[in-house]
Amino acid sequence: MAGPCSVESEKQLLRTAEAVKAAGATFLRGGAFKPRTSPYEFQGLGEKGLKLLDKARRATGLAVITELLSENHADLVAEYTDIIQIGARNSQNFQLLIAAAKTGKPVLLKRGLSMRIEEWLLAGEYVLANENPNLLFCERGIRTFETYTRNTLDLSTIPIIKRETHCPIVIDPSQGAGRADLVSAMCKGAVAMGADALLIEVHPNPAEAWSDGAQQLSLDMFANLMKELKPFIAAAGRV
């Protein structure tokens, strides 16, 4: 799963979608509604962003994953997306989890910044208990005292989620490390440990991204990464 942090424009999105498709991605990610720490930062293109994702979907055949921020947007977002993402800051926003579950679409639940694994599993129960069996867990790093990386990516979640649930585990190394130069190593580790998917931020021009530029890969970096991962995918028996 790959794509820009934020959907910015048709050109940016389509160019990214075509490139990640060519490199082997099967899902296009992109934020239309963005949860930003400050109300004065770019909040996403909203419905216009959803329509651009839909356009890219039709153009490339990629499936789409995007984030849901408000209970009131559940039907709208479900209309345009194949997987609904619940972000780390809303990981215990139980009303939002219920609203997402009720759309019937698969729900990808990111781990909260200081969420214990037990709490994550129980938050997932808010989806399962609302008759939606299509739940994916996504590790995106936890908050620690470390300042060298943005978060500390906890790869032990891979064997643990596999042991405790029937659900896929997705790894987001972009948020996890917060640094593009660490993404490649993180992906290799995740694949070797049995991750079912990777969620990677890719942008045609990371230096000019409207959000989180430091952690997005360029199109070339992504294509290289997909090549580098091949022997590890084979070693993990996931060809």
> Footprint of its own copies on this chain (CB under 8 A)?
35-40, 69-72, 89-90, 92-96, 112-114, 116-119, 122-123, 125-126, 129, 142-149, 152-156, 158-160, 163, 176-177, 181-182, 184-186, 188-194, 231-232, 234-236
Alpha carbon distance 41, 35 (integer Å): 9
Report in angstroms how near the CB of residue 57 gets to its own copies at its nearest. 25
List of residues 6+ apart from 134 with CB closer than 8 A? 105, 106, 107
CB nearer to its own copies: give 9 or 70: 70
Alpha carbon distance 227, 220 (integer Å): 11
Region of 195 on the Ramachandran plot (φ > 0 left; ψ -120 to 50 alpha; else beta): beta
Q: Residue 79 in contact with residue 102, Cβ under 8 Å?
A: no
Q: Closest by alpha carbon to 191, among 176, 175, 174, 169?
A: 169
Alpha carbon distance 28, 53 (integer Å): 8
Report in angstroms how near the CB of residue 106 gets to its own copies at its nearest. 18
CB nearer to its own copies: give 54 or 119: 119
Report in angstroms how near the CB of residue 70 gets to its own copies at its nearest. 4
Backbone angles phi, psi at 216, to 5 degrees: -90, 140
CB nearer to its own copies: give 94 or 205: 94
CB nearer to its own copies: give 147 or 207: 147
CB nearer to its own copies: give 61 or 104: 104
Report in angstroms how near the CB of residue 101 gets to its own copies at its nearest. 10
Report in angstroms how near the CB of residue 105 gets to its own copies at its nearest. 19
Q: Residue 178 in contact with residue 169, Cβ under 8 Å?
A: no
